[in-house]
């Protein structure tokens, strides 16, 4: 049967994306036989033309880097959540032809943490200061009662994190990346750095750490996550985040409750049976 409802993930590069695996698993479980979900390599220059070329069969888009901000001028409106970090990872096309943007990364982070029993923390540490770090701050605005220390490599990144903290109502304190070992003593540590960036911290994991949220899912486990798990502490991983944000996307695009367990199992199978826990 040809698809009468279409969705896709856009980004560049995009071949690595697990989003098709998760969304297709949801469609199969929900009996949505006339829905399709593909991946398209689209950069910032090509995005306007791609969006303008979509017909009424399209239900929605998932967006990864470098499109989360580039898409905003092409939309008819964005949610308060997306506006808070100036990043859209979800576009839904309404029946009356509007394009509405949202950010499911932020509630996805909160849901992934709550699933592992992390409801509230008194303080937290963020490793890194890129786009994912701003989403982490937005999530922490909901669950962290006290200060968040951001460990960064440059003064420019420090200024960015201070700006996001001010905007989101988070008490952000800045520390140099050279002191990142100290981050590992926080009740909650969110690692938002690229693969390999935290490997040298693994030997500094304390005997009784709090919870680690490492946003990577490939490779998994990271050296830091492996050592954290060896210490018997809670680890939330990139697949947890990817699944929870995809659940929200499926629900917005289809109007049905998404099958979380089925989607997670599909993601784990695609990663070779590992249980991880950068999204996209």
Q: Give the catalytic positions in this structure.
A: 68
Pairing of strands 90-93, 58-63: antiparallel
- Asked if residue 199 lies in contact with residue 222, where contact means CB atoms within 8 angstroms, the answer is yes
34/253 Cα distance (integer angstroms): 14
Q: Residue 123: in which H helix or E strand, if any?
A: none
Q: Which of 232, 234, 225, 231 is nearest to 274 (CA)?
A: 225
Three-state DSSP state, 218: coil
Q: Which of 62, 35, 18, 64 is nearest to 265 (CA)?
A: 18
Q: Which residues contact 248 (CB under 8 A, 6 or more apart)?
A: 90, 104, 107, 108, 258
Give CA 175 to chain center in angstroms.
24
197/192 Cα distance (integer angstroms): 9
């Amino acid at each position: 049967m040809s698809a009468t409802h279409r969705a896709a993930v856009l980004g560049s590069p995009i071949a690595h994306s697990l989003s098709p695996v998760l969304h297709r698993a949801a469609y199969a479980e929900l009996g949505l036989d006339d829905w399709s979900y593909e991946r398209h390599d689209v950069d910032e220059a090509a995005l306007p033309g791609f969006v303008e070329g979509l017909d009424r069969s399209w239900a929605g888009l998932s967006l990864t880097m470098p499109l989360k901000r580039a898409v905003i001028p092409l939309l008819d409106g964005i949610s308060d959540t997306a506006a808070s970090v100036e990043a859209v990872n979800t576009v839904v096309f309404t029946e009356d032809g509007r394009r509405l943007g949202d950010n499911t990364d932020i509630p996805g982070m909160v849901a992934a943490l709550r699933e592992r029993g992390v409801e509230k923390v008194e303080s937290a540490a963020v490793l890194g200061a890129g786009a994912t770090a701003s989403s982490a701050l937005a999530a922490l605005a909901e669950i962290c009662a006290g200060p968040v220390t951001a460990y960064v490599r440059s003064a420019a990144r420090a200024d960015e994190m201070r700006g996001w903290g001010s905007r989101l109502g988070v008490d952000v304190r800045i520390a140099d990346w050279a002191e990142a070992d100290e981050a590992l003593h926080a009740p909650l540590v969110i690692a938002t750095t690229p693969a390999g960036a935290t490997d040298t911290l693994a030997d500094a994991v304390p005997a009784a750490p709090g919870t680690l949220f490492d946003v990577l899912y490939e490779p998994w486990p990271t050296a830091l996550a492996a050592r954290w798990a060896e210490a018997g502490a809670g680890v939330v991983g990139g697949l947890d985040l990817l699944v929870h944000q995809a659940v929200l996307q499926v629900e917005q695009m289809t109007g049905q409750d998404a099958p979380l367990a089925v989607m997670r199992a599909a993601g784990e199978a695609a990663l070779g049976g590992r249980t991880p826990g950068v999204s996209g």
